[in-house]
Structure 1
């Protein structure tokens, strides 16, 4: 039954993408982030649903007249340069054939990010995109938070699959999603909707604690401070963060605190020491090879060349060391440029929204994206998620949001500069 339901929803959306390709772009983001065919289906998990959605969306993109330049702002250009560099480094990989699957997957993600920028060209579509991103991951935040409460925090919360299959990976995604839920909450006008979204945010924070992820806990702490700093209603936000934080920590069992205490005693923690060796290996590799080693460098032969512990083979466990090892220092520079341009563009959104009485939503969105960037930057320092979809979609949101804000500003300035018709002036005078 669940397979049939998933087939119906995805099938209708895929066909609809031929006429409304922006719907297909959102559907691809939903399937890519949430993996509903994996979560709710059995046979559906094996279906190539993302490929079908992407194909119909691209056909719709070629047909529709409602599209714009996909290289809309600095973040889009930074993503394009980083994507191009990974294409250049691919032939120089240690293991080209084994690197191809992850390269192809990354290319699909970046391609659909550009398709999304090209098709989402007004606020209504942008709101749908933000809702899609927020609730695709927020579903697992709420579900995981409820699981943590029901089990007393004695079991770790795990992800559904894909990039967010593990407890650490899911926690990072939820940390990034909490600010998006907060943005949506700020746009709500009815009290019950605000309270419902507040509950979702609280459960998502509890889920991060229930993941037992030390990196995500640090990111949640940093993000909480930024959430207060960048948001509206600072006193209410501070009280809410304090209440949720104290209640969540008081609820967690002793084994959780034992896990978090290893942050200070990393010298005696095998997992932490293994990450340090992996970081050392990727750094040495980047110093030796301009192009890096390619997507698949975590093998005993590579460790034997660039590490003193060839018996301890681990993934990079850091977005920064992952990129520098796989694509060299140029790749790291371009990757950091994506984050920097996203942060700056989000800041411009915030300033533009503050300058206009009817664009406060733009200020809220820009501020919350900056909070998400902090979450990704901190938690990502301990996880290999450099090619995860969500950060690139947030970059796309900043490009689209700033463009919409500027178009609105230009339209308002043009309307103000046009002289009023004599009849309209007479009516205005009479009314006065």
Structure 2
């Protein structure tokens, strides 16, 4: 005689009548559901005050957040560049699932495009006599050129190499990044070699008798605002535009193809997805965004040198994506903020919460601490700080299938 089964005690999702079979959602999913239920004007009404608050961070001087050893406006400007890099690399790594260890090469191509066309040290300078660029608007005019040239470089690199997968693709992209750096270091007649290219153009806005170079010139500071704050505002505008562009792609057929390729490329190809085409799209779009960030870097620093484009920085960019959450746009921005902010937070500090520390030494060992943080993260939270929604739904589907199998097993034993 079989023991009666209390159907009411079965877990949700087992097919019992009277019970909600909808999967349980976490805080992130509830927020996404609420956000997606809002109309587009309502989303902008909620989002604009938040964007404004983020833009005002450098001038609010929040005591806990503001850095002591370095200017907070400059830190936020650097964060803006890293956030753009993380969004572009997230398209390649997080969305399409392609391991790219040489993304710094695209960053360098964008920076050198601006420098070669606007620096007086370059033989290709177009801002002097006989050039076709105005010194006031040269940076802005070269910005789309930098994006286009970097996208073409992504196309040239991706066309022959994207048929490779995994470690082989990672090695090829790593080689590309090193090739770009070595070319910049050895073509001294064009790139200036180890000396670099100086006096790179920047937007000449806010000029006056007391400030003939404008508010975007390196070293500008009027006591309240500095050049870093202005460059941070430019980066916020660019980040919003890039997020809108990438977000629309994610919700389109292209984004769905990227997710299919990331989860299982062979299955996607069997189902009719032209995987090579969509991987190439991801590579080109990611390269273009990386070039945009490189152009932002060249205008802000106004000095481009090959040592800033080494493999360590490329790994640091990848660290921001993995730390924040591969595939999640807001997650990788959080990862970029952590990568940039934490070393600068400790810089110059002698105590923290009443505890004596050597902040400069802590900042010098940033690569060690980031490496340890990644190891801990991979053990306890491999999906990153803010996991991507598609992966959460995948795990939820696996739990639902397991519950179904349990129900079938219990039904067969009766």
Calculate the TM-score normalised by the size of structure 1: 0.24
Q: Which has the larger radius of gyration?
A: 2
Which structure's relative contact order is higher, taking Cα pairs within 8 Å and 6+ residues apart? 2
Q: TM-score, normalised by structure 2?
A: 0.25
